[in-house]
Structure 1
Amino acid sequence: MSHPLAEHTDELLSAARTATGDELRSLTYFTRETVEQLYLRSDLNRTADLIGFAENERQGFHAQSMYADTQLGDYQFTVRVFKNGYLTRVIANDHGVWVTTDSMEIDRFEELASALATILRSFDPS
């Protein structure tokens, strides 16, 4: 039996590409225990500290419960702004992805997060 992620990698990448176009830099899948880079644009170096990023992005599992039932509504996604681009983190259930992009319009981040969350909710990471 294949790992659930294997069946959904192309779907996640397709959704990210559709929402971000040529601005897509990378796509990384993570759970509380694992991290796997699914895509890295060819003009970028493989020097990112995935484990370090994963430790930071895993805090989003806590954010899901911490922000539950607030007047703002349920937590949906996080966008981090950096000098050379953006990082969008989406978590659903016990797994998530982060996507790095070049600069884009804010509504594209919402489209990206919504599409990825739908896919993540469709399969069990275990």
Structure 2
Amino acid sequence: MSGESNSEELAEELISACRTSIGDTLRSITLFTAEDYDQLYIRSDLEQDAELDRFVANERLGFTSQQTYGDSELGEYEFTIRAFEYGYVTRVIVGDRGVYVTTDEMHMDEFDELATAVRGVLRENTGAA
């Protein structure tokens, strides 16, 4: 992603926010835009060279979903959770950037804390409201 020092600072902030909110449950963090992505963190006990293209392509669909649900009576989009046999994927999008975080199994209330932390970092770094 562009702007190396800004990217490093954003990566550090996202890692810190995620680690603070969910601790060792954190598996990985990937920052993405419509054109690019960067895996910011992966826990040492996991496969370090996993193919991310399919995951990123799927999570990019969230940019379209935001537009679809934009004027919904449900309110503003906050985050998406996908449940799997051994963990979860949580996606947060703010403006033109998104982050998806993979985790081990967690309690449902921890997802709100995680998404709030990620959304706060993205808003701070994108100027989005």
Q: TM-score range by the shorter chain?
A: over 0.9
User: 1:35, 1:50 within 8 Å by CA — same for their partners in 2?
Assistant: no
| Separation in 1, partners of 2:59, 2:72 | 21
| Cα deviation, residue 47, structure 1 | 4.2
2:68 alignment partner, one of 51, 66, 72: 66
Specify whether residues 93 and 3 from structure 1 end up closer, same or farther in structure 2 by C-alpha distance, changes over 3 A only: farther
| Separation in 1, partners of 2:12, 2:31 | 12
Structure 1 residue runs of 4 or more that deviate by more than 4 Å after TM superposition: none
| Separation in 2, partners of 1:90, 1:72 | 17
Q: Summarize the alignment of residues 90-105 of structure 1 with structure 2, pairs less than 5 Å apart.
A: 90-105=92-107
Structure 2 residue matching 1:46: 3-state secondary structure? coil
Number of positions where the alignment pairs a residue of Structure 1 with one of Structure 2: 125
Normalising by structure 2, report the TM-score.
0.91
Normalising by structure 1, report the TM-score.
0.93
User: 1:23, 1:102 within 8 Å by CA — same for their partners in 2?
Assistant: yes
- 5+ long unaligned stretches in structure 1: none
Q: Summarize the alignment of residues 49-88 of structure 1 with structure 2, pairs less than 5 Å apart.
A: 49-88=51-90
| Separation in 2, partners of 1:24, 1:117 | 16
Structure 1 residue matching 2:80: 3-state secondary structure? strand
- The corresponding residue for 2:39 is 37
Identity of aligned residues (%): 50
